[in-house]
Amino acid sequence: MIVKTFKAQYELLEFNHYIDHSHEEPVSVVDLILRTDDIDYVKDELNDLFAVEDNRNAYVFSGYDISECYELGDGIVKVVCIK
C-alpha cells in the first residue's frame, strides 16, 4: 500500500480509518504507519489532500488535521489525522 500526496509518495505499512465516538461530536480518524525518514515533510504534506492506495482500491482524504506524528523506529513514522 502507498500514501500519495501532490508532492510525495510513501510506503504504507498500516492503515486504519474509523469514527471515534468518545468526543462530544464524532471524529473521523485516519491512522497511518509510514516508511519515511523525513517526519517534518510528512507533517506538511498530510495536512492537505492525500490518497491511500492498494492493489484494488483508492481512498481520498481531505480536510484532515494531524493530531499525532512521531517516529516509531528507524525510518518508521506513525501519523494520526482527524476531521
**Residue spans per domain, the chain:** 2-82
pLDDT given at position 47: 82
User: d(Cα 78, Cα 68) in Å, to the nearest integer?
Assistant: 8
Is 19 in a helix, a strand, or coil?
strand
pLDDT given at position 81: 96
pLDDT given at position 75: 94
Average pLDDT over residues 13-17: 96
pLDDT given at position 66: 95
- Classify the phi-psi angles of 24: left when phi > 0, otherwise alpha if psi is within -120 to 50, otherwise beta: alpha
Residue-wise pLDDT for 22-79, tens only, equals 988 999 999 999 999 999 889 888 887 999 999 999 999 999 999 999 999 999 999 9
User: d(Cα 71, Cα 74) in Å, to the nearest integer?
Assistant: 8
User: d(Cα 71, Cα 69) in Å, to the nearest integer?
Assistant: 7
**28 within 8 A of 19, measured Cβ to Cβ:** yes
Average pLDDT over residues 5-13: 94
pLDDT given at position 48: 79
